Amino acid sequence: MTMMAPLADSDLSAEAAAVFADIRATRQTEFVNNFWRVLAHDPVALKRTWESIRQVMAPGALDPLTKELIYVAVSMANSCEYCIRSHGAAARAKGMSDAQFMELVAVVAMAAETNRLATALQVPVDDAFKQV
Amino acid sequence: MTMMAPLADSDLSAEAAAVFADIRATRQTEFVNNFWRVLAHDPVALKRTWESIRQVMAPGALDPLTKELIYVAVSMANSCEYCIRSHGAAARAKGMSDAQFMELVAVVAMAAETNRLATALQVPVDDAFKQV
Amino acid sequence: MTMMAPLADSDLSAEAAAVFADIRATRQTEFVNNFWRVLAHDPVALKRTWESIRQVMAPGALDPLTKELIYVAVSMANSCEYCIRSHGAAARAKGMSDAQFMELVAVVAMAAETNRLATALQVPVDDAFKQV
Amino acid sequence: MTMMAPLADSDLSAEAAAVFADIRATRQTEFVNNFWRVLAHDPVALKRTWESIRQVMAPGALDPLTKELIYVAVSMANSCEYCIRSHGAAARAKGMSDAQFMELVAVVAMAAETNRLATALQVPVDDAFKQV
Amino acid sequence: MTMMAPLADSDLSAEAAAVFADIRATRQTEFVNNFWRVLAHDPVALKRTWESIRQVMAPGALDPLTKELIYVAVSMANSCEYCIRSHGAAARAKGMSDAQFMELVAVVAMAAETNRLATALQVPVDDAFKQV
Amino acid sequence: MTMMAPLADSDLSAEAAAVFADIRATRQTEFVNNFWRVLAHDPVALKRTWESIRQVMAPGALDPLTKELIYVAVSMANSCEYCIRSHGAAARAKGMSDAQFMELVAVVAMAAETNRLATALQVPVDDAFKQV
């Protein structure tokens, strides 16, 4: 088998099962999505990735919804269908409205256009932006 | 000449000059950055791009700082140095703190990692995410 | 028809059939995958691509499995599902274990994260790295 | 300031200084490159990233040079100059020869070409690759 | 609902319906594809995007088929399946032959390879190209 | 040395020198740009790449200027500065006007925006486009 199948709870190693317990406790839901079930084939990577994402997405100088909006936007820029859908659902759960979603999409697309314009035209960086 | 040099105010066509006037009035500063000065070689594109970005970035369901943070994040995902620097400066002007910037960067990088994991492992989309 | 359908053996031009014979002889299998069957609509491109890949992937300073691992890693970075699956299968055939596959994925994802960090933060290249 | 300047040793927080000490001990050199000096503005991110990369790049089912070659290849695919140069230097330090480097580059470029061909032609995934 | 479903004609706002009428008049067909039907959830974005694309794709210094070929090529480079298929169909409608399509694909793939080579090898820009 | 320096004519292997002679004869100029001078460290890759590009860019169902415009557009989409500049110069040499260049850039940027919209919104492919 080249590609790894999602693991059922009954197939988890002890270390992976402990991470799943923490995911369930943190998110307060029994549902564990396929991303973690595939990554569970490598329990060390599972634990490292889960702990990193929990740390990065915790409330800080940016609130959780803003962080989730940024996550969705980057997933769109990186063309990751799985991540657009899973983090889109997470943003919904944190309160993203339809109007906010459509505005997010508009900013992502507008940035794609002007990013490409700046690169295509090889626009020289202004001194004002170099100093900052 | 293959690449287009930024145009000085004195070299602008009438249509481009009108757009520059609107940029200055909207932003309340005399400074017009190189992006617009290069795009001014095509006044129709200049006008279309400026009016689109003004519309997209206007306050709406998302506040202007959140939109700017998303713009910066996407520019990072698209590896556009000019846009990282210019929209980074814009986000600063709208109030982004050092701590917010570093958290933004952490989310962008974390998303890049999990986007790649989901793609590399070809994780199947959960039924729960297909319904949404 | 916009998109090209994979060609059956009976639909090949003489030049394409000759390339298929070489693919079969080199790989020692009757199976020719869809990539070549679609490319066969342009026999010149088929021949050029096959001969290039045969040359690039031949044993050299790097062994065939290492080359295949690099090929899979790049296909993941480029988000090409077809190539992840086909070169993943090729790497398996050359001996890649489950553990090696999961470590490969971890390196690809980690690189994606630090690549993005370096770009997002516009880290200046150290003098030590410029000299090399 | 929008972009963060690399921090000198004298400007490090206690937590960042501890990470730098670990980097120096692990790598057995006094030199700490700019990537870590910029990331040191966020000591939590610095510690998380360093510990993750140390774990991912440790010897395992793949040897350290193979992991480094994959890291360089992915950095090339992601167009990250800083990472191409810094991990290129790391690969050299681990024994990569000129010939191995040029072969690595050839595989990365060949994969870029066939990745694009498969996507451009929307080649359907063979059943044989779906099963794996 | 996270992802937006394509809107039927009967579900359109007045502003969206006006844009659809213009799309139909311009293209001289009743068929309106899903791209516009999903974007219709945000009538302002729908109108802005349609008017921009109509302006950009109008005959000018480049003829409509050449513009469409460039559009398809960029969609391939950006790995956008929807756009490869929809603009591929548009290019067919404007006269693209099978042979032209296969040559287009070959150029896109060749550029992907040499783009990656130039980046991987960090080839310094020639003075001759800087002057232009 | 990690990165390879461009080779002077006096440092070329016999096989590389033969390729340079062919480049000069084909292009009818003594100037050989750095791309080939760096690639010359691997004469086999040099020969393969040069022969491939000469074949792909030869007149066919698409004329040489159209091919060059596509090459530039893809190089912009792939954010390759070297290639934007070198193939931009080549397009100029084949007759690309300022107006054509600016229209090319507009199409590349517009495609980037709608590519991203289609991906961000996960627009389902119309049946009409699947059939083709």
| ipTM of the modeled complex | 0.96
pLDDT more than 90, % of chain B? 95
Chains meeting A at 3+ CB pairs closer than 8 A? B, C, D, E, F
Q: What is the pLDDT of residue B117?
A: 98
Torsion sign, CA atoms C9, C14, C20, C21:
positive
Smallest CA–CA distance, residue F8 to chain D, in Å, is 18
Q: Do E2 and A102 touch (CB under 8 A)?
A: no
* E24 Cβ under 8 Å from any chain D Cβ: no
Best F2, F39, F74, F119 residue to mutate vs chain D (most D CBs within 10 Å): F2
pLDDT band at E61 (very low <50, low <70, confident <90, very high): very high
pLDDT digits (tens, 9 = 90+) for B71-102: 999 999 999 999 999 999 999 999 999 999 99
**Structure token pair of residue E7:** 């809107």
What is the per-residue pLDDT across C45-101, written as a single tens digit (0 to 9) for each? Answer: 999 999 999 999 999 999 999 999 999 999 999 999 999 999 999 999 999 999 999
Provide the pLDDT for residue B131.
Answer: 64
DSSP H or E segment with residue D69 = helix D64-77
Residues of C in contact with A42 (CB under 8 A): 102-103, 105-106
Is the predicted pLDDT of residue F50 greater than 50, yes or no?
yes
Q: What is the mean pLDDT of chain A?
A: 96
**pLDDT confidence of residue C1:** 46
Instruction: Give the whole-angstrom CA distance, residue B15 versus residue B17.
Output: 5
Band of residue E3 on the pLDDT scale cut at 50, 70, 90: confident
Helix or strand run (H / E) with residue D80: none
What per-residue confidence (pLDDT) applies to A131?
A: 63
For residue D63, is pLDDT > 60? yes
Question: Considering only CA atoms, which of A3, A47, A45, A42 is closest in space to residue A23?
Answer: A47
Nearest partner of A48 among A26, A77, A15, A79, judged by Cα: A15
| Structure tokens belonging to residue F46 | 């040099």
CA dist., res. B71 & res. B66, Å (int): 9
CA distances from C3 to B108, C18, C115, D124, E21 (A): 35, 24, 34, 11, 29
Residue C132 clears pLDDT 60, i.e. is over it: no
Task: Determine how many CB atoms are found less than 10 A away from the CB of residue F62.
Answer: 24
Chain D contact for A132, CB < 8 A? yes
Size of interface A-F (CB pairs under 8 A): 52
Collect all residues of chain A within an 8 Å Cβ-Cβ radius of residue F117.
105, 109
Query: Mean pLDDT throughout A84-88?
Result: 97
pLDDT at residue A2, as a whole number: 56
- pLDDT at res. B1: 46
Q: How confident is the model at residue C2 (pLDDT cuts 50, 70, 90)?
A: low
For chain A, percent of residues with pLDDT exceeding 90: 95
pTM to 2 decimal places: 0.97
What's the whole-number average pLDDT of chain B?
A: 96
Closest chain F residue to C53 measured between Cα atoms?
A: F48
Hey, what's the torsion of the CAs at C75, C79, C81, C83, to 10 degrees? -20
| Mean pLDDT, rounded, for D88-114 | 97
pLDDT reported for residue F77 = 98
Nearest chain A residue (CA) to D78? A78
| pLDDT band, residue E1 (cuts 50/70/90) | very low
What's the pLDDT at C131? Answer: 64
Residue % of chain C over a pLDDT of 90: 95
SS3 of residue A125 by DSSP: coil
Residue C82, min C-alpha distance to chain D (Å):
6
Averaged pLDDT, A104-128: 97
Confidence class for position E2, pLDDT limits 50, 70, 90: low
* Residue C104 confidence class, pLDDT cut points 50, 70, 90: very high
pLDDT band at D131 (very low <50, low <70, confident <90, very high): low
Interface check for E2 against chain B (CB to CB < 8 A): the answer is yes
A122-131, C16-25, C42-51, D55-64: segment of lowest average pLDDT: A122-131
Residues of F in contact with D91 (CB under 8 A): 2
C120 pLDDT higher than 70: yes
Over residues B107-131, mean pLDDT: 95
At F131, the pLDDT band (50, 70, 90 cuts) reads low
Distance CA C39, CA D118 (A): 9
> In the prediction, which pLDDT does F130 show?
85
CA atoms within 13 A on the CB side of A100: 21
Query: How would residue C3 be classed by pLDDT, with cut points 50, 70 and 90?
Result: confident
Tens digits of residue pLDDT in E78-112: 999 999 999 999 999 999 999 999 999 999 999 99
User: Residue A98 and residue A36: Cα distance in Å, rounded?
Assistant: 27
Q: Residue-wise over D90-112: b if at least 16 C-beta within 10 A, else e?
A: bbbeeebeeebbbbbbbbbbbbb
Nearest to C43 by CA among C21, C67, C76: C21
User: How many angstroms separate the CA atoms of B51 and B55, rounded?
Assistant: 6
Confidence of residue D1 (pLDDT cuts 50, 70, 90): very low
Q: Where are the alpha helices (DSSP H) in chain C?
A: 14-27, 34-39, 43-56, 64-77, 81-93, 98-120, 127-131
Q: H helices within E1-132, ranges in order?
A: 14-27, 34-39, 43-57, 64-77, 81-93, 98-120, 127-131
Interface check E116 vs D, CB under 8 A: yes
Q: pLDDT band at residue E131, thresholds of 50, 70 and 90?
A: low
Residue B25 has pLDDT above 70, yes or no: yes
Question: pLDDT value at position D24?
Answer: 98
Q: Which residue is closest to C82 within chain B, CA to CA?
A: B122
Mean predicted confidence (pLDDT) in A76-104: 97
Residues of F in contact with C44 (CB under 8 A): 55
F107–chain A Cβ distance below 8 A for any pair: no
Residue F29 in contact with partner chain E when CB distance is under 8 A? no
Per-residue confidence (pLDDT) for residue D130, from 0 to 100: 85
Give mean pLDDT, residues E19-33.
Answer: 97
pLDDT attached to residue C13: 98
